[in-house]
Chain A
Amino acid sequence: MRVTVDRARCVGSGTCTAIAPDLFVLEDGRARVLAPDEPGARTDRDDGRTADDVEEAVESCPVQAIKGGPA
């Protein structure tokens, strides 16, 4: 599963971090994607749960700053 956050577009609403705190983190008020080897991050991202979470984050972002899809 591939997912990216456009940090220039992000307004730090925390929507994605509420959906999946082990995929996204707020840093200096803007979201970024956690790398699988960071503390607390989700390591396996090829499952259906990750696909669902990413889809929800993409759809819920109020400024459409998240892009995601199959790797």
Chain B
Amino acid sequence: MSTADLTQLDLFSPAAVADPYAAFDHLRDTDPVHWSPRYRSWILTRHAEVSAALRDPRFSSDRITPFVQAKLSGPDADPDLRATFAVLEDWMVFKDPPDHTRLRTLLRTAFTPRSVAALEPRIRVLSDELLDDLVGAGQGDLVRSYAYPLTAAVVAEMLGVPRADRDLFKEWSDAITALVFAGLGSPERYERATRGMLELRDYLGAMADRATAHPGDDLISALVQARDDDDSLSHDEVIATGVLLLFAGHETTTNLIGNGVLALLQHPDQRDRLVRGEVGIGTAVEEFLRYDGPAKTVVRQMGSDVELDGHVLRAGQRVFLCPPSANRDPAVFTDPGMLDLGRTDNPHVGFGFGLHYCLGAPLARAEATVAIPAVLDRLPDLVLDEDQELVWQPVLLSRGLTGLPVRWRT
């Protein structure tokens, strides 16, 4: 790709979906603050600009409200779509202070390193149960049958969803993922996403009502209590936050585990270091986040004009921040394309940076720390199933496999 060809940059091409790193390397080298006519967005690919933008309030997170006002406030707007976006509008990830601070503060205590440490034994039990079911099969899909149900079960338990309803939750989560991660959308897919969102909204509404009458020690009950105690949260925000937690706690952690196991299977030398105990799993998980983490693009909207590297980013323009590219910036990382599970100087932005730094980071770390070694431990001689192709999700915001086909010795 020459510089002129950059105008043709297609992040959805099959090659770029399978391996976005080549395109990111090229952008970072040739045009690190790039205006993409195709996406009508700026694309930032260097560590310096990505991390600076993540902590700069002029790069606003509130990009749903302007969209709703522009596209969904007219008399012809589809009411279901409007209702769906009404839920998204209440997500703290799409808020700037002070609303962001208020919503985040309410959830803070649930995600402290100490609260999460208390969940670890439970994560271990859930992980073991899933592996018990798999171990005799000799082959399977570690995304569909392990990472995905595990992370769903953890977040469902935190929210207080009864076990019997977990599969429903998974369905809805799938549908919403399609919407939020901005995939290649067909009208049917959009419709399914909208329906999933509204069903989930109603389900969580009923849960909130039950929690009002009979509070438990789950997160929905805690949110309801915050709503009733000091009016710090509206009923709609309780539901929207429940949807956000399900979604954010599920999809991204699935991909951290899936991409992490894949990286190990593709780098047997690194896997041996981990199995032999030469590197700690904590350090290794940070490297999984850097090397091939779940967040592909973070979207911001300019709140005011900002000059950056000789360009002016105008108020109202959209900006794509690319953590995977920042995480392989040779200005910051030695041998950035190499997986080094012992890497200690690792200021990756896989969880973001600044006010929106992933609230669930301690939970994601805990889940990956339990789930990845458990797979190596329980499924002997684990290898990729070379007969099946690896398929990556054709979405812009996230980096994850649709499945991870593997074989092991029984």
Contacts and interface: CB of A to CB of B under 8 A. Distances in A.
Contact of A14 (B101, B109, B113, B351): B101
A2 to B, nearest CB: 21
A13 interface: yes
B303 to A, nearest CB: 16
Contacts of A60: 108-109, 112
B357 A18 contact: no
A59 B117 CA distance: 12
A64 B362 CA distance: 10
Contacts of B108: 15, 18, 60
Given A18-B101, A18-B105, A29-B55, A13 B112 contact: no
B104 A12 contact: no
Given A12-B354, A13-B354, A29-B354, A62 B101 contact: no
Given A11-B351, A11-B354, A14-B355, A29 B362 contact: no
B357 A64 contact: no
Contacts of A28: 55
* Residue of B109, B114, B352, B354 most packed against chain A (CB within 10 A): B354
A60 B361 CA distance: 12
Given A12-B55, A14-B101, A18-B105, A64 B355 contact: no
A62 B355 contact: no
Given A11-B351, A12-B55, A29-B56, A62 B105 contact: no
Interface residues of B, number: 23
A59 B113 contact: yes
Given A59-B113, A62-B113, A29 B353 contact: yes
B57 to A, nearest CB: 10
Given A18-B101, A18-B104, A60-B108, A12 B353 contact: yes
A62 B55 contact: no
Interface string A38-71: 0000000000000000000001101110000000
Contacts of A64: 113
Nearest to B351: A11
A25 B96 CA distance: 17
Contact of A13 (B52, B56, B114, B357): B357
A60 B357 CA distance: 13
Given A12-B357, A14-B355, 9 more contacts: A11-B352, A14-B101, A18-B108, A29-B55, A29-B353, A29-B354, A59-B114, A62-B358, A62-B361
Interface of B: 52, 54-56, 101, 104-105, 108-109, 111-114, 351-355, 357-359, 361-362
